[in-house]
Amino acid sequence: MTHVAIADQIEEDHEPTGFVRKYIWSQDHKVIAIQYAITAIFVGLIALVLSGMMRLQLGFPDSFSFIDPSSYLQFVTMHGMIMVIYLLTALLLGGFGNYLIPLMVGARDMVFPYLNMLSYWTYLLAVIVLVSSFFVTGGPTGAGWTLYPPQAILQGTPGAGKGIILMLVSLAIFIVAFTMGGLNYVTTVLQARTRGMTLMRMPLTIWGIFIATILGLLAFPALLVSAIMMLFDKLLGTSFFMPAIVSLGESLEFSGGSPILFQHLFWFFGHPEVYIVALPAFGMVSDVIATHARKNIFGYRMMVWAIVAIGGLSFVVWAHHMYVSGMNPYFGFFFATTTLIIAVPTALKVYNWVLTLWKGNIHLTVPMLFAIGFIFTFTHGGLTGLWLGNVVVDLPLSDTYFVVAHFHMVMGVSPVMVLFAAIYHWYPKITGRYFHNGLGKWHFWLTFLGTYAIYLPMHYLGFLGVPRRYFAMGDSNFIPESAYSLNASISVSAIIVGVVQLIFLFNIIYSLKYGKKAPANPWGATSLEWQTPDTPPRHGNWGKTLPVVHRWAYDFSVPGAKQDFIPQSVANEDVEMNDGSTFTGHKED
Amino acid sequence: MTTDKQQDQPNQLSQVEQESGMHSVVTDWAADKEVFNMPWGKLMMWIFLLSDTFIFSIFLTSYMNVRMTTTASWPSSSEVFALTIAGHHIPLLLIAIMTFILITSSGTMAMAVNFAYRGDKSKTFWLMLATALLGASFVGMQAFEWTKLIVDEGIRPWGNPMGAPQFGSIFFMITGFHGLHVSCGVIYLAIIANKVRKGDYDKKGFHIVEITGLYWHFVDLVWVFIFAFFYLW
């Protein structure tokens, strides 16, 4: 126990002065988190606009002259890649991970603040490289977010010149940025917790972020390696992924490479990536539900082990994305089985969320509405996942709108629901002010119902066999007239939902200045970040002394206690009881 | 609201010190504050190396996959990696020397760590410098090997006269990536050695030498696998 003292040394912890050192070249995890969040939301808005353009084309074909087949494919690709990596991964881990880890485990900052700062600036560089591909000749790559070779780097694919190179370089830079941040998150959780904060007392938010970061550190290498190899295929003319091929009537120099190898590498990254996004969301939604239902999370230990189990299993399911690529039937059997097994801990979590709500004192606040919305969309997307996990069901549904609907429900809308819940939930702590409640409720209902208006019909389109990523359907006989009107209706809903997000943006910006002043702990939450001496927390978070943790993070509605919550930092003898007795703890702890 | 008066909180945390085996593992993971009794930087290096292990594993797995799926014949390693000295054709000579040098550098590194913890700054400095020099000579020999392969044998990343074009591409990529790691290690060693000499760690302690050593041993270990997969297969 010789190194703990470092956390208590405040003499090295000079608060920076001056705007630039405080808010730009900042090493404070809270400022870095906000920098991450603003950048991620900014690129996320670009991706949102791209999806709107796609919907315009699909809903009203031939009406918009500025969308041609090439640009449509570019929109598809950039929308997917930005949303998955540059928005969700960056906002959940870089944003919330950075903000919440030190506060929730009772640390003054990340263990290596300088590295943390570098992580953000490297991430920003990755974003700039990515966005710059919109402005080069040929535009960004249009290879689909999976970037499958050989088509990704061959003539005829939009952006096969500079676009794909910038994409791959940007991904490599992003991975470097993520590694710098991720090493910090894992080390902070393992080594810099405050006194009394055992691993099994950490809020589930931290568990989710912690395991997701480990997944990232082990899964991103696969993407890095495949990006390097594809860059060499493109720039040096190597043949890692390129078989002998005839392109535009001309036989190319490549020979003997394996496109399937890329798919394996990509999905060895790509599937854990789903859980890199999902696990922090699982964690945060658990805390939001417990806090706003005034009830301890049901089965805390099970929830933790489910997160760990999902993390482990997520590395052995990747080839379920590749059933149509062709594989030995025994492998298909293996990956279908593991895929169905991973549904067990996931379902366990959903049951536990619902059981937490059961007989809880549910406050339908805006964060809670989004959290409950998440339970719906996630269950929905999870169930269709069971279908697609089975080889025989997957084959006819592959590359149809059913798949689009499935993954948007489960890893698009669901984490975004949690992100909104989390932003609204922690907004009073981050800014010191309340958001506007009415606007928040409008935002929720329009987003939630709009989501269903968009994605429910898409399942049906998938059953009809409407293929995804197509610019237009042409004269396909098997697609009935009704599919076109359905597409138009989906597009209208999508545009409305897109515009509705302006309410959210307006709300968080407006409330920054004009919101009602919030107290330190407006929701009556138990975890440490709500117990800081200042709101918003200052540099160093805890003032002179670090908090001491005496209990788990879910002491809500404890029988006999005066208040319906007991913060983690309150000792048993300090708990006010109704009958004046001394609180003696309870078996959950 | 939180004072230090609750130090007596009975949470089975720090009172269990003398345990061994599985029990101590459980105790460490059930404790507050920290799981591993080591400095932050050292744990971070371990985690980084775990991530880096995945990078090299995936490189080598890709290599095996490429080598097994390509239809063209793979060049024979005892032919390609041979030196002709005084008219004799000696397979794997250069690579044996390179491997020997790198393993030796691990030895000097381990000694440097030992002397660092004893507080012998001067010996630590010279041993780290020796490690860096051995590493630099490894990179130099690698450059020589590459030159020979490129100039004499006509091997290029996109093709070669002996068979499968993937031979050159995967060889240059993986040994290049490893060589990059060695080069970074040499620079890292030089910087830390210099700081040790200047006395920058007199107060903080010499954990940093061990952390540098972890990285260096890892790079050596990776080389053993690359050696086995490229030169002995």
* Cross-chain Cβ contact A232/B157 below 8 Å: yes
Chain A interface mutation, best of B45, B51, B71, highest count of A Cβ atoms under 10 Å:
B51
- CA distance, residue B41 to nearest chain A CA (Å): 8
**pTM of this prediction?**
0.93
CB nearest to B62's CB, from A179, A265, A571 = A265
CB nearest to B59's CB, from A217, A225, A567 = A225
* Cross-chain Cβ contact A570/B1 below 8 Å: yes
Instruction: Find the closest chain B residue to A546 by CA distance.
Output: B2
Partner A contacted by B44 (CB < 8 A): yes
- CA distance, residue A27 to nearest chain B CA (Å): 17
Give the residue, A164 or A580, on which the prediction is more confident.
A164
pLDDT score recorded for residue B5? 39
Structure tokens at A401: 């709108």
- A250-251 and B88-91 as β-strands: parallel, antiparallel, unpaired? unpaired
* Cross-chain Cβ contact B9/A548 below 8 Å: yes
Identify the band that residue A14 occupies on the pLDDT scale cut at 50, 70 and 90.
Answer: low
Are A100 and A157 in contact by the 8 Å Cβ rule? The answer is no
Q: Is the pLDDT of residue A82 over 60?
A: yes
pLDDT tens digits, one per residue of A528-577 = 999 999 989 998 899 889 999 999 999 999 988 999 999 999 998 889 88
pLDDT score recorded for residue A12? 52
Partner A contacted by B6 (CB < 8 A): yes
- CA distance, residue A182 to nearest chain B CA (Å): 9
Average pLDDT score over residue span A232-254: 90
pLDDT tens digits, one per residue of A415-431 = 999 999 999 999 999 99
CATH of the domain at B90: 1.20.120.80
pLDDT score recorded for residue A395? 92
Q: Is residue B118 part of a domain?
A: yes
- CA distance, residue A295 to nearest chain B CA (Å): 23
Distance of CA A8 to the CA centre of its chain: 33
* Cross-chain Cβ contact A240/B37 below 8 Å: no
* Cross-chain Cβ contact A4/B34 below 8 Å: yes
| A2 contacts in chain B (CB < 8 Å) | 37
Question: What is the torsion angle, in degrees rounded to the nearest 10, for the CA atoms of residue A412, residue A414, residue A420 and residue A426?
Answer: -120
* Cross-chain Cβ contact B62/A255 below 8 Å: no
Q: Is residue B1 part of a domain?
A: no
Q: Is the pLDDT of residue A168 over 50?
A: yes
Residues of chain A with pLDDT > 70, as a percent, come to: 97
Q: Is residue B225 part of a domain?
A: yes
ipTM: 0.92
Per-residue tens of pLDDT for chain B, all 233 residues = 334 434 444 444 444 455 678 888 888 888 888 899 899 999 999 999 999 999 999 999 999 999 988 888 888 887 888 887 877 788 888 899 999 999 999 999 999 999 999 989 999 999 999 999 999 999 999 999 999 999 988 888 888 888 888 999 999 999 999 999 999 999 999 999 999 999 998 888 899 999 999 999 999 999 999 999 998 88
* Cross-chain Cβ contact A218/B6 below 8 Å: no
Structure tokens at A58: 């699909």
pLDDT score recorded for residue A586? 64
Q: Which residues contact A299 (CB under 8 A, 6 or more apart)?
A: A348, A352, A355
* Cross-chain Cβ contact B165/A256 below 8 Å: yes
Identify the band that residue A140 occupies on the pLDDT scale cut at 50, 70 and 90.
Answer: very high
Q: Is residue B180 part of a domain?
A: yes
Structure tokens at B132: 């860096």
Average per-residue pLDDT for chain A: 92
| A187 contacts in chain B (CB < 8 Å) | 40, 43-44, 47
Which residues 85-144 of chain B have a CB within 8 Å of chain A? none
Are A426 and A371 in contact by the 8 Å Cβ rule? The answer is no
Q: Kindly report the number of other CB atoms within 10 A of residue A151's CB atom.
A: 17
| B50 contacts in chain A (CB < 8 Å) | 217-218
* Cross-chain Cβ contact A258/B58 below 8 Å: no
CB nearest to A3's CB, from B40, B65, B173 = B40
Domain count, chain B: 1
Query: How far apart, in whole angstroms, are the C-alpha atoms of residue A207 and residue A308?
Result: 9
Query: How far apart, in whole angstroms, are the C-alpha atoms of residue A30 and residue A536?
Result: 10
* Cross-chain Cβ contact B33/A570 below 8 Å: no
- CA distance, residue A50 to nearest chain B CA (Å): 33
Q: Is the pLDDT of residue A50 over 60?
A: yes
Partner A contacted by B18 (CB < 8 A): no
CA atoms lying within 13 Å on the CB side of residue B101: 20
Tell me how many residue pairs between chain A and chain B have CB atoms under 8 A apart.
Answer: 163
| A183 contacts in chain B (CB < 8 Å) | 44, 47-48, 51
| B11 contacts in chain A (CB < 8 Å) | 196, 198, 550
Chain B interface mutation, best of A104, A185, A195, A217, highest count of B Cβ atoms under 10 Å:
A195
pLDDT score recorded for residue B9? 43
Q: Three-class SS of residue A581? A: coil
CA-wise closest residue to A381 among A344, A429, A415? A415
Query: How far apart, in whole angstroms, are the C-alpha atoms of residue B98 and residue B101?
Result: 5
Say if residue A281 is exposed, middle or buried (CB neighbours under 10 Å; 0-12, 13-18, 19+). buried
Structure tokens at A461: 């389109």
Q: Is residue B103 part of a domain?
A: yes
Are A133 and A65 in contact by the 8 Å Cβ rule? The answer is no
**DSSP label at residue A571:** -
Which amino acid, one-letter code, is at A49? V
Structure tokens at A234: 């493109």
CB nearest to A224's CB, from B9, B55, B70 = B55
pLDDT score recorded for residue B19? 64
Chain A interface mutation, best of B8, B14, B32, highest count of A Cβ atoms under 10 Å:
B32
pLDDT score recorded for residue A378? 96
Structure tokens at B8: 């007596």
Structure tokens at A245: 């091929």
Q: Is residue B82 part of a domain?
A: yes
**DSSP label at residue A321:** G
- CA distance, residue A408 to nearest chain B CA (Å): 29
* Cross-chain Cβ contact A545/B2 below 8 Å: yes
Are A223 and A266 in contact by the 8 Å Cβ rule? The answer is yes
Cα distances (Å, whole numbers) of residue A46 to A75, A447, A502, B34, B73? 10, 18, 13, 41, 48
What is the domain range of residue B63?
A: 44-231
Cα distances (Å, whole numbers) of residue B21 to A139, A483, B35, B42? 59, 65, 15, 22
* Cross-chain Cβ contact B32/A195 below 8 Å: yes
**DSSP label at residue A200:** G
Instruction: Find the closest chain B residue to A192 by CA distance.
Output: B33
Q: Is residue B8 part of a domain?
A: no
Average pLDDT score over residue span A360-377: 96
Are A88 and A277 in contact by the 8 Å Cβ rule? The answer is yes
* Cross-chain Cβ contact A221/B54 below 8 Å: yes
Q: Which residue has the tokens 């003539």?
A: A155
Q: Three-class SS of residue A577? A: strand
Partner A contacted by B59 (CB < 8 A): yes
Chain A interface mutation, best of B2, B47, B51, highest count of A Cβ atoms under 10 Å:
B2
Instruction: Find the closest chain B residue to A256 by CA distance.
Output: B70
Instruction: Find the closest chain A residue to B11 by CA distance.
Output: A196
Chain B interface mutation, best of A239, A327, A534, highest count of B Cβ atoms under 10 Å:
A239
CA atoms lying within 13 Å on the CB side of residue A204: 30
* Cross-chain Cβ contact B58/A221 below 8 Å: yes
pLDDT score recorded for residue B32? 85
Query: How far apart, in whole angstroms, are the C-alpha atoms of residue A62 and residue A102?
Result: 52
* Cross-chain Cβ contact B69/A232 below 8 Å: no
Are B5 and A159 in contact by the 8 Å Cβ rule? The answer is no
Q: Is residue B2 part of a domain?
A: no
b/e code B49-74 from CB counts within 10 Å (16+ = b): bebbbbbbebbbbbbebbbeebeeeb
Partner A contacted by B58 (CB < 8 A): yes
* Cross-chain Cβ contact A256/B158 below 8 Å: no
Instruction: Find the closest chain B residue to A575 by CA distance.
Output: B1
* Cross-chain Cβ contact B35/A199 below 8 Å: yes
Q: Kindly report the number of other CB atoms within 10 A of residue A240's CB atom.
A: 30
* Cross-chain Cβ contact A190/B48 below 8 Å: no
* Cross-chain Cβ contact A232/B34 below 8 Å: no
Q: Kindly report the number of other CB atoms within 10 A of residue A9's CB atom.
A: 9
Average pLDDT score over residue span A87-110: 96
